[in-house]
Amino acid sequence: MSKLQPARGTRDLFGEDMRRMQKVIDTFRKVGLAYGFEDLATPIFEFTEVFKRPLGDASDIVSKEMYTFTDRGGEEVTLRPEFTAGVCRAFISNGMQQNLPCRLMSHGPVFRYERPQKGRYRQFHQINAELLGPADPEADVDMLALAWRILKTLGISKDVVLHLNTLGDVESRAAYRDALVTYFSAHKDKLSEDSQRRLTTNPLRILDSKDEGDRVLVADAPNMSQFLNEASLDFFNRVKAGLEAVGVPYVHDERLVRGLDYYTHTAFEFVTSQLGAQGTVLAGGRYDGLIAQLGGPATAGIGWAGGIERLSMLLAQDPGTPRSTIVLPMGDAATVKAFVVAEALRDAGHLVTQDRSGNLGKRLTRAAKANARYAVILGDSELEKGVAVVKDLDSGDQREIALAELAASLEA
């Protein structure tokens, strides 16, 4: 029988990889709470229509990447390829429009059938934040400030650049779309097969093309800024002024777009040069038309998602585990007493394990290798005196401490 391996594009998470990812999640939640966000957990799978309706049959996610199947009840369901559609579905299903604004944060696995490469998996993980209700540009500033504070708290903001653009309002976007169709139609025979298809279904996506021939044409394509009306310009200027006021640096990237029609105004990506081709670590935008498209009430929204794997790869070092105390009982009577001592230490906030196997020297070696801070040694003579021998594994010093004073004597 061949050795069992995880399916292609998936992996087991443990050790340093798990600690790094948990650091990203913990930081996200801590900062999110400081900004007034609440936790929301949506199902890992939804009815396929939840994703297909907003993303469209012509999108790469729907046509090439979704994990879709028919369950035993005959329902077509899809493993979530992204969070936003499911969050908006939850907003509608649970009548959250009665309590606007809604600040919702989620994290967990998402699934896309892609070619695995560095920082990209078929099952990967995201942090996700959505602000539903406010339609003002200052809400966009708030969401970008949240993302920037998370990056700063993780210590990785120096390696990341915010790329910012505007898609304008519906009127401006429609004018830009028409201009792109006119321009690219004149060069249709030079476009890649994918871009020829996008010309009729989603022309803004041509600007994202990685095909070298397409890139040559994109370089001379019209810019969005040429088609912004006064309202759109004012909205974008207020976003930029807000970012400058709160100290979030950015670059205006006129080629940054979102191809789906429900996106309006602000679009952004936080990009790094530290991870090769997979440079985007967090991205999002304003999607004022999405909830209505899903069948809910017209509700403004802006959100973003960050790749936990990619963010964790940028961390400077292994976050490590909290320093522990290891209780080492020597003898049968001490083995029983060690449970009482360990529980008392845990009650006082200490991280405690026990090691009951091997001689004392081997146990101390294992404790040091596990990066424990203290070893609490219990033997027959210590039990008779009501004490434990506590060895500081950093300094090597050891002393006797009364069992009744043990929890208060150790640093938690």
Question: Would residue 81 count as lying in a domain?
Answer: yes
Answer yes or no: is 216 within a domain.
no
Q: Residues 178-202: pLDDT tens digits?
A: 999 999 999 888 889 888 888 888 8
Q: Which of 267, 291, 313 is the last residue of a domain?
A: 313
- The pLDDT of residue 114 is 83
Residue 84 DSSP code: H
Could you tell me which of 176, 206, 167 has the C-alpha nearest to residue 190? 206
pLDDT of residue 58: 58
Whether residues 23 and 134 share a domain: the answer is: yes
- Asked if 296 contacts 345 with a C-beta cutoff of 8 angstroms, the reply is no
CATH code at 20? Answer: 3.30.930.10
CATH number at residue 380: 3.40.50.800
**Which runs of E-coded beta strand occur in 167-299?**
251-252, 264-272, 280-286
Which residues are annotated binding-site positions for L-histidine? 82-84, 112, 126, 130, 258, 262-263
pLDDT band at 1 (very low <50, low <70, confident <90, very high): very low
In the chain, how many domains are there? 2
Above 80 in pLDDT, residue 120? Answer: no
Question: Based on the domain organization, do 39 and 126 belong to the same domain?
Answer: yes
- Residue 119, pLDDT > 80, answer no
Q: Which domain holds residue 266?
A: 15-169+229-313
Mean pLDDT computed over 391-410: 92
Local confidence band at 59 (pLDDT 50, 70, 90 cut-offs): low
What are the pLDDT digits (tens) for 310-321?
999 999 988 888
Does 330 share its domain with 381? Answer: yes
Has residue 411 got a pLDDT over 90?
no
Whether residues 295 and 341 share a domain: the answer is: no
Shared-domain flag, residues 163 and 257: yes
**Spatial CA neighbour of 275 closest among 306, 248, 253, 305:** 306
Of 272, 270, 284, nearest in space to 314 by CA: 272
Please give the model's pTM, rounded to 2 decimal places.
0.88
Residues 153 and 271 in one domain: yes
Q: List binding-site positions.
A: 82-84, 112, 126, 130, 258, 262-263
